[in-house]
A and B are shown apart, each in its own frame.
Chain A
Amino acid sequence: MKTRIVLEKVCVPKRRQLAYRILAVVLALVLGAAFLGVMGFSPMAIYRKMFGGAFGSKYGITETIVKTIPLMLAALGVSVAFRMKLWNIGAEGQLYMGCFAASWVALRFPGLPAYVMLPAMFMAGMLGGGLWALVPAVPRALFGTNETLSTLMLNYVAILWVDYLVFGPWKDPKGFNFPITPEFSEAAFLPAFGNSRVHIGLVFGVLIAAVLYIVLKYTKWGYEIRVIGESREAAEYAGMKVIKNILLVMFLSGALAGLAGMAEVSGITHRLQSGISPGYGYSAIIIAWLSRLNPWGIIVVAFLFAGLLVGGYSVQTIGLSASIATMLQGMILFFVLASEFFTEYRIKLVRREGVKNGE
């Protein structure tokens, strides 16, 4: 008598799916704790430190919100492309090109008044990211060139381009040789809330999430991009303009990542600098995935991930590496990926006796 593992497709209700997801995150944190314990650290102390660092003080919460803004914007961008099954993993590069374009406006036209400057930087940031995303989108639309790898490659090109500028022609002559540009004129600073570093980019993010939610859920276009994602043939048969939509969706996706970049330079650093993003564009992919591309979910998950990031910095004060946060991000994603399997399949053990059957 032999047992055989058989997978059965199942349909799990939405609420249970969410429960699985939360369970996966909890399991990842438990395993992370076990790992830290084995390595001879006190996991509770570390988790408490991280939680306290991210959410335990006014400063912590403010920093967490500050980091939420680029994560949320970039993740919203990624989610638009993912909806059409376009694997845009180039958000990091698109973010950098948004930084570049917005900084160009600020540095080239320092005399503009804020009411011209900020909208111009806003547009430039979106254009920079959007056009950069079109570079891989055009061959994808015309020839079906794999966008996963081309978007990824272009990240490095964009980062090197910004490095060239801040190490070369745009370098601040009074910057003690640091790879930074001169500070923008004050008209180019995004307004902040009170004295905090939390800037108006937060409002953009929430508004964009709302618009995306409505457009994707209730309009014909939202329906179209889902159909194209499921089956290009079916979409073409139904008369949908596939090429135009691939270009449009990739542009929009890149533009939102570019906006994240604009918000960083205009709201936080007030100048362009080397290494302006600590990998927001990559975290954005995880955030989009974890929230199942739901815009409201993205806001929540981006906030939690920002907390993980800020919490990671705070464990440095007890002599540990901030990479604990990165490690936990990876583990969470592993567990959520695994949990998805159980929302789609049920494992059944089937006994088979004597003669083979079912083969």
Chain B
Amino acid sequence: MNSSAITVILSATIIAGTPILFAALGEILTERAGVLNLGVEGMMLVGAVAGFSTAVLTGSPWLGLISAMLAGGTMALIHGFLAISLRSSQVVSGLALTIFGTGLSGFLGKRYIGVSLKAPFVKIGIPLLKDLPFLGPVFFRHDAMVYISFLLVPVIWYYINRTRPGLNLKAVGENPSAADAAGINVFRTQYLHVFLGGALAGLGGAYLSLAYAPSWLENMTAGRGWIAVALVIFAAWDPLKALLGSYIFGGLDILGFRLQVLGVMVPSFFLKMLPYLFTVLVLVISTSRRSKYVWSGPGSLTKPYYREDR
């Protein structure tokens, strides 16, 4: 394999990892607020169809992107209302959101099957950087959404770790009663981050329909939402590790696909299993050595907050 083949594969890896990265970043924000949202797959699908239909109707992929974020965020608020205000089981409510989103997107998207997008996101090389040897073709010859994802990672990391609202967010996720006692509005923090999580999941879906494909297909996320949920654990709720994880997952996807094209069918199925098996392994290792690792996630994850219990 020569060096240009390697850059092609790495560049494809980044593209394959990008929708997962958006969704995982969103889920990190949501889970940091103590809310587990298993509806990522559904929110991505609704984001994908909302973004695609808006882009088809208006001719602008940017308006599509905004509409995808609003759609994903609105979906997430359904889960937020059930999980935060009505204290429903977050597992069941999240599953319901995935099922609902799968159905809703299939229903709304029916008329867009086979429709082509006049103006999808196109690849734009970044001046100067695109001519760097090796790094240029791998990182700097993508579409605008990939660059947005590059920017979002440090921004979200900084937000969580270095800003006041980010610290409040962590406090709410770790110990909502303590945060409440310190004057933080727990419910507002949770609702806001559930919404942001959904908006980012919608963005991840829109990446598929506006840049990756670019077209609408029923169930086009094909399990990427679930991978994002798994990735959040793998990344220990850290945006930087999520970036790395997304590209590993994306890389395995590309590798499996390439092998399949070469006619090596068999190992591609096993390659595709790896991310899931690895996530299970991470889950087991992180819990079996509880004292050494801080890999257990936000303290109040999946537990609804009862204000009266104070």
Contacts and interface: CB of A to CB of B under 8 A. Distances in A.
B273 to A, nearest CB: 5
Given A330-B97, A330-B99, A337-B92, A164 B284 contact: no
Given A149-B230, A161-B269, A324 B283 contact: no
Given A136-B280, A150-B284, A164 B266 contact: yes
Interface in B152-211: none
B184 to A, nearest CB: 17
A328 B266 CA distance: 38
A146 interface: yes
A167 interface: yes
Contacts of A300: none
Interface stretch (A17-25, A207-215, A250-258, A281-289): A281-289
Contacts of A322: 106
B102 interface: yes
Given A167-B265, A168-B265, A338-B82, A146 B106 contact: no
Given A146-B283, A146-B287, A338-B82, A163 B269 contact: yes
B221 to A, nearest CB: 13
Nearest to B219: A323
Given A334-B78, A341-B88, A145 B97 contact: no
B226 interface: yes
Interface SS of chain B: helix, strand, loop or mixed? helix
A20 to B, nearest CB: 13
A139 interface: yes
Interface stretch (A152-160, A195-203, A231-239, A261-269): A152-160
Interface size class of B (residues with CB under 8 A): 35 or more
Interface in B251-310: 265-266, 269-270, 272-273, 276-277, 279-280, 283-284, 287-288, 290, 308
Contacts of B284: 139, 143, 145, 150
B101 interface: yes
B135 interface: no
B92 A285 contact: yes
Contact of A334 (B96, B229, B279, B308): B96
A323 B88 CA distance: 25
B273 A338 contact: no
Contacts of A283: 99
A156 B279 CA distance: 12
Contacts, number: 150
A282 B38 CA distance: 13
Contacts of A145: 283-284, 287-288
Contacts of A6: 308
B143 interface: no
Interface residues of A, number: 50
Contacts of B96: 286, 330, 333-334, 337
A136 B95 CA distance: 19
A282 B280 contact: no
A126 B13 CA distance: 39
Interface in A18-66: 39
Nearest 9 interchain pairs by C-beta: A330-B100, A323-B106, A327-B103, A326-B103, A333-B96, A164-B269, A341-B86, A330-B99, A337-B88
Given A283-B99, A326-B106, 17 more contacts: A146-B283, A149-B233, A152-B226, A153-B226, A156-B223, A156-B272, A157-B273, A160-B272, A161-B273, A286-B92, A320-B107, A322-B106, A323-B103, A323-B107, A327-B107, A330-B102, A334-B96
Interface of A: 6-7, 39, 87, 89, 135-136, 139, 142-146, 148-150, 152-154, 156-157, 160-161, 163-164, 167-168, 282-283, 285-286, 289, 320-331, 333-334, 337-338, 340-341
